[in-house]
Amino acid sequence: MGFNALVFTGDWNSVARLVDGDNRCSGRVEIQHGDQWGTLCDEYFSLEDAAVVCEQLQCGAVKATPRDAYFGTGNGPVWKDNYICLGNESRLADCQVSAWSRISCSHGNDASLICTDEMWSVRLTEGGSRCDGQVEVYDNGRWSRIQDNFWTINEANVVCKQL
């Protein structure tokens, strides 16, 4: 443990990093507001939010979202921002945010994330939920749609199991 991952910088509400994980694509989720880093509360951190962070950091797909400060407790504030992501956004800035909830969180509730850190992964886009849509594969830093010329129920089952 103790590995500091890649940091993505962009809009004030989209600066994210993973800290104290086993590799660059795992760790405690931290978000920067202004010049201050803080943690996110795992109470609000959904699989869809996690998918966006993995995408943003170019770390493949979500492998797990352990609870209760799995990668240790952070320093600074615990942001109460509730990112409302669909899971197909490229960065947190593309998600809606509901800020400053009434639920109190401590560093014992710091959100944690483990991404696959694979050069390729799969996702569904333009669907009505996270479980339907166009199949896309992430390969070497780029998402591409899968053509359906030879697509069968067997391939669909593999995608559903992976997701």
**Does residue 100 register a pLDDT over 60?**
no
Q: How far apart are CA 115 and CA 61, in angstroms?
A: 5
State the pLDDT confidence band at 5, using cuts at 50, 70 and 90: very low
Domain ranges of the chain: 16-115, 120-162
pLDDT at 141: 67
Distances (CA, A) of 97 to 47, 49, 92, 106, 145: 15, 11, 9, 20, 28
pLDDT tens per residue, range 105-155: 889 999 999 998 876 678 888 888 878 888 888 776 677 888 888 888 888
Q: Please determine, looking at this structure, whether the domain spanning 120-162 carries the CATH number 3.10.250.10.
A: yes
120-162 matches 16-115 in CATH topology? yes
pTM for the model: 0.68
Which H or E element spans position 158? helix 153-162
pLDDT tens per residue, range 33-44: 888 999 998 988
**Does residue 8 register a pLDDT over 50?**
no
In CATH terms, the fold of domain 16-115 is Mac-2 Binding Protein (3.10.250)
